[in-house]
C-alpha cells in the first residue's frame, strides 16, 4: 500500500513558502493485529499549526522537519484488524494527540481511534462540533461569561471560531459586533449569522471610530482571534470589568521579531480588565457537556455554520497559507 505524504521541509521564517513543504510517496507496512488502515476524507487546516512549524515552547510539541505535517481529519476505515472497526466506518484520531498525518493513508492502533456518526456532514467534526466549536464555547462561556445585554466584540469574526462565538453570544442575549475583512464576510456575518453589526477593517481607515459607532455602550467581552493592530483599536473601548478571551493572534504568527505595540496593562489596571489566554483542551473535563449543547444548537438551527472547501490532497499547503490572507469564510476544509 502506497501513500502520498506532505512533509515539513524547513522551519519557515515569517510567512511559510511553498519550498517549506515537500511531497513524497511512501510504502506503508503491513497491518498488524489491533491496527486499522484509514484514508482521510476531509482535513482541517488551522492557524495554530503555524506555531507548530517553529521550534518554540508551546502547548503542543513542534512538527518535526522531514516528517509529515498533521492536523484534524475525518477518515474512512479501509481495512481493520481491530474488531471494534469495520471497513467503511468513519473515524477520527482521539486521545491527547488527536492529529492525523498529511498522508493519503495511515495506520493507527484501534485504541487511538473513535467512530463518528455517519449522518452528520464529516467536516462538521472539524468545525462547529470539533476544535473550533469547542474553542468558541469555552472561551466565551468560561472566560467571557456573557450576561444578557452586554456587548461582545469578536475579531476574526468570519473565521471558524468567530462565527460560533457570535451565535452563542446572541443565544445568551448579547449585542454582538464582529470585525472581519471584505464586504462578503461582513454581509455573511449580519445576514447569515445574525451579528448586530460587522466592521470591515479593510474599508475603515479609522477603525476606532467604526468601533465607537458599532458599540455605543462600549465593549464588555472581547473574543480575540487576531491580535495586533485590530486589538490595539479595540482595547480603548473596553468597559470597566471587561473580559478578554485570547484565543489566537493570527496577525502575529508570522512575525520574526518580538512584536511591539501599545502596552495594555495601564488600561487593564484603571478599568479592572481581565485577559486570559486559553486552548480548548484546558477544559477537557467539560467536553461532553459542551458537545451535547453545541450538537443541540446545530440540530435545532440556532447555530448555522460556514465552510470554505478546497478540493484535493495536494492543496493542503495552499489552503493553510490561505488562512493568513483571510481567504476563508468560516472553517477552511480540504476535501481529499
Residues of the shown chain interacting with a second copy in the complex, contacts defined by CB under 8 A = 51, 56-59, 224, 227-228, 231, 240, 246-249, 252, 258-279, 282
Sheet strands (E) in 53-150: 70-71, 73-80, 90-93, 100-101, 106-109, 113-115
Buried b / exposed e along 279-317 (16+ C-beta atoms within 10 A): bbeebeebeeebeebbbebbeeeebebbbbebeebebbb
Closest C-alpha to 99, from 32, 44, 169: 44
Work out how close the CB of 25 gets to a second copy at its nearest, in angstroms, rounded to a whole number. 35
Q: Which is nearer to a second copy, 231 or 308 (CB)?
A: 231
Smallest distance from a second copy to CB 8, Å:
19
Nearer to a second copy, 5 or 249 (CB): 249
State in angstroms the smallest separation of the CB of 151 from a second copy.
17
Residue 274 or 296: which CB sits closer to a second copy? 274
Q: How far apart are CA 303 and CA 169, in angstroms?
A: 11
The smaller minimum CB distance to a second copy, of residues 95 and 262, is found at 262
Cβ atoms of 234 and 219 closer than 8 Å? yes
Min separation Cβ 250 and a second copy, Å = 10
Give helix 162-171 / helix 287-299 axis angle, nearest 10°: 80
213 vs 272, beta carbon nearer a second copy: 272
Question: Looking at residue 28, what DSSP letter applies?
Answer: P
Residue with Cβ nearer a second copy (96 or 269): 269
We find the least distance from the C-beta atom of residue 78 to a second copy, in angstroms, to be 36
What's the min distance (Å) between Cβ of 277 and a second copy?
4
- Cβ atoms of 201 and 207 closer than 8 Å: yes
Amino acid at each position: 500500500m502506497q501513500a502520498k505524504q506532505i512533509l515539513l521541509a524547513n522551519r519557515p521564517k515569517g510567512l511559510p513558502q511553498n519550498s517549506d513543504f515537500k511531497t513524497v510517496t511512501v510504502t506503508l507496512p503491513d497491518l498488524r493485529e489491533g491496527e486499522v488502515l484509514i484514508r482521510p476524507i476531509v482535513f482541517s487546516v488551522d492557524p495554530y499549526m503555524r506555531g507548530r512549524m517553529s521550534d518554540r515552547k508551546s502547548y503542543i510539541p513542534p512538527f518535526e522537519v522531514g516528517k509529515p505535517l498533521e492536523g484534524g481529519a475525518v477518515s474512512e476505515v479501509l481495512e481493520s484488524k481491530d474488531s471494534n472497526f469495520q471497513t467503511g466506518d468513519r473515524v477520527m484520531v482521539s486521545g491527547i494527540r488527536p492529529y492525523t498525518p498529511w498522508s493519503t493513508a495511515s495506520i493507527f492502533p484501534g485504541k487511538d481511534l473513535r467512530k463518528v456518526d455517519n449522518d452528520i456532514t464529516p467536516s462538521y467534526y472539524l468545525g462547529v462540533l470539533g476544535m473550533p466549536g469547542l474553542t468558541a464555547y469555552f472561551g466565551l462561556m468560561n472566560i467571557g461569561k456573557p450576561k444578557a445585554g452586554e456587548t461582545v466584540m469578536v475579531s476574526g469574526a468570519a473565521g471558524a471560531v468567530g462565527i460560533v462565538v457570535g451565535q452563542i453570544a446572541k443565544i445568551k442575549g448579547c449585542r454582538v459586533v464582529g470585525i472581519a475583512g471584505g464586504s462578503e464576510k461582513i454581509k455573511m456575518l449580519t445576514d447569515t449569522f445574525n451579528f448586530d453589526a460587522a466592521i470591515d477593517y479593510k474599508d475603515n481607515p479609522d477603525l476606532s471610530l467604526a468601533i465607537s459607532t458599532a458599540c455605543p455602550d462600549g465593549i464588555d467581552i472581547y473574543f480575540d482571534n487576531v491580535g495586533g493592530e485590530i486589538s490595539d483599536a479595540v482595547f480603548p473601548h473596553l468597559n470597566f470589568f471587561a473580559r478578554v478571551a485570547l484565543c489566537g493572534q493570527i496577525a502575529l504568527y508570522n512575525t520574526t521579531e518580538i512584536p511591539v505595540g501599545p502596552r495594555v496593562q495601564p488600561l487593564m489596571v484603571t478599568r479592572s480588565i481581565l485577559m486570559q489566554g486559553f486552548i480548548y483542551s484546558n477544559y477537557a473535563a467539560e467536553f461532553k457537556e459542551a458537545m451535547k449543547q453545541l450538537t443541540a444548537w446545530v440540530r435545532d438551527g440556532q447555530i448555522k455554520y460556514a465552510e470554505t472547501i478546497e478540493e484535493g490532497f495536494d492543496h493542503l499547503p495552499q489552503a493553510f497559507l490561505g488562512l493568513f490572507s483571510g481567504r476563508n469564510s468560516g472553517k477552511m476544509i480540504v476535501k481529499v
